[in-house]
């Protein structure tokens, strides 16, 4: 590679690193929730590390100081997956959510420690796992689209989905090609150009940290129905919503969607989204529905008369399609699994075991 081409590549990668560093710094310093700041910091750092580590010349220049860049870049797709989960599903960070990054990092170190031809096979496996997690992240963005109650974030999903899909496809094909021995002098240059383009484009979205998209450090609580700032028509709609959810127990319907609930209430879907988000403080429809389901589950689990009812039966009775989502939602809400909650509640004789004396 000639010096002029190498200079162009360094400039492109430098632009990508600069955009990522500025965006990441602004993101972490913003008022977004702690879980999202952690996931965002790891995502931006790992992407910077990948920009550096994917260049043979930069790796050579760093020498023994390139260890941290290598460590972060190996789990990059896992940190991207974590960022997507926390951003678009509003899920708090927990130890299991770091498993994808840990898996990719472990497989990467195995690839480094082995010798050809085993090494090539390990790196192909690493690239395939990366692609799988990236594709699952894209599926999460798409699948939770309709249930997103934040209009600004809903508009973000389309461009985000398209840009990331294109980036993942291009970079995965290049990496897999390199793993099977396909080499080209322009790989690194094109890679630098792709990274610069996508990182600069992404900075236009993320540098302007909007609370509407990323959330507040402390979620807003629900506004009372008699609050003077609520429009009279909205107050009537909220009362209808309360009747549908509480008296009508719409939340027990496993197939309940924002669309079907809007039909029950008699308002357009977009208006119901706005009302639930602005007045009730929920950022996604699943969380709104699960609030009632979890409260009902706590009462059932604390009832000695239902001590022989299985957790699975309770989950299905309350509208959960399977046990896994119920366990996850319950633990995120209470800090305990349903089984732990039941045991502690029945032993302490309190419906709120974590506060009993």
**Separation between Cα atoms, residue 202 and residue 204, nearest integer Å:** 5
Contacts of 28 (CB under 8 A, 6+ apart): 37, 40, 41, 44
Contacts of 198 (CB under 8 A, 6+ apart): 16, 163, 167
pLDDT at 156: 79
Burial of 227 (0-12, 13-18, 19+ CB in 10 A): exposed
pLDDT at 179: 65
Burial of 129 (0-12, 13-18, 19+ CB in 10 A): middle
Are 233 and 54 contacting, i.e. CB atoms less than 8 angstroms apart? no
Q: Where are the domains of the chain?
A: 3-214, 232-355
Instruction: Pinpoint the alpha helices (H) of 30-98.
Output: 34-53, 56-62, 67-74, 76-88
Shared fold status for 3-214 and 232-355 = no
Instruction: Pinpoint the alpha helices (H) of 207-334.
Output: 211-214, 232-242, 258-265, 269-280, 285-301, 311-317, 323-334
Would you state the structure tokens that stand for residue 120, as one six-digit string?
């090539």
pLDDT at 151: 82
**Separation between Cα atoms, residue 156 and residue 272, nearest integer Å:** 19
Would you state the structure tokens that stand for residue 274, as one six-digit string?
């706005």
* pLDDT < 50 regions, the chain: 217-221, 223, 227-228, 355-357
Roughly how many angstroms between the first and final C-alpha of the chain, as a whole number? 71
Centre a 10 Å sphere on the Cβ of residue 148 and count the other Cβ atoms it contains.
Answer: 24
Are 49 and 72 contacting, i.e. CB atoms less than 8 angstroms apart? yes
**Separation between Cα atoms, residue 42 and residue 65, nearest integer Å:** 19
pLDDT at 218: 44
Would you state the structure tokens that stand for residue 291, as one six-digit string?
């609030």
pLDDT at 214: 65
Whole-structure pTM value: 0.81
Burial of 321 (0-12, 13-18, 19+ CB in 10 A): exposed
pLDDT at 143: 86
pLDDT at 219: 47
**232-355 maps to which CATH number?**
1.10.10.60
Compute the C-alpha angle 141/265/328, nearest 5°: 40
pLDDT at 326: 93
**3-214 maps to which CATH number?**
1.20.1070.10
From the list 208, 240, 265, 236, the residue with the least C-alpha distance to 32 is: 208
Would you state the structure tokens that stand for residue 257, as one six-digit string?
């969607």
């Amino acid at each position: 590679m000639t010096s002029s081409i190498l200079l162009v590549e360094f400039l492109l990668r430098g632009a990508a690193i600069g955009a990522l560093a500025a965006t990441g710094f602004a993101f972490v310093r913003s008022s977004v929730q702690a879980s999202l700041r952690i996931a965002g910091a790891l995502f931006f750092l790992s992407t910077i590390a990948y920009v550096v580590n994917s260049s043979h010349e930069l790796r050579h220049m760093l020498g023994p100081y390139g260890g941290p860049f290598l460590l972060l870049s190996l789990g990059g797709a896992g940190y991207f997956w974590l960022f997507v989960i926390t951003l678009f599903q509003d899920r708090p960070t927990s130890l299991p959510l770091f498993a994808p990054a840990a898996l990719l990092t472990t497989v990467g170190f195995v690839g480094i420690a082995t010798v050809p031809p085993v090494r090539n096979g390990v790196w192909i496996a690493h690239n395939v796992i990366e692609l799988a997690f990236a594709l699952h992240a894209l599926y999460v963005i798409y699948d939770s689209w309709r249930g997103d109650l934040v209009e600004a974030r809903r508009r973000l999903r389309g461009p985000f989905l398209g840009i990331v899909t294109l980036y993942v496809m291009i970079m995965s094909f290049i990496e897999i090609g390199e793993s099977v021995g396909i080499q080209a002098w322009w790989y690194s240059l094109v890679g630098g150009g792709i990274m610069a383009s996508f990182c600069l484009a992404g900075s236009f979205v993320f540098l302007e940290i909007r609370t509407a998209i990323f959330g507040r450090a402390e979620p807003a609580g629900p506004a009372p129905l008699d609050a003077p700032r609520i429009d009279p028509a909205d107050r009537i709609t909220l009362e209808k919503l309360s009747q549908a959810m509480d008296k009508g127990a719409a939340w027990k319907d496993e197939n309940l969607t924002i669309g079907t609930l809007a039909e029950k209430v008699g308002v357009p879907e977009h208006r119901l989204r706005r009302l639930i988000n602005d007045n009730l403080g929920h950022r996604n429809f699943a969380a709104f529905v699960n609030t009632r389901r979890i409260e009902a589950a706590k009462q059932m689990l604390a009832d000695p008369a239902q001590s022989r009812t299985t957790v699975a039966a309770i989950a299905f009775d309350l509208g959960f399609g399977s046990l896994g989502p119920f366990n996850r939602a319950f633990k995120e809400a209470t800090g305990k699994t349903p089984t732990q909650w039941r045991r502690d509640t029945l032993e302490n004789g309190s419906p709120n075991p974590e506060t009993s004396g």
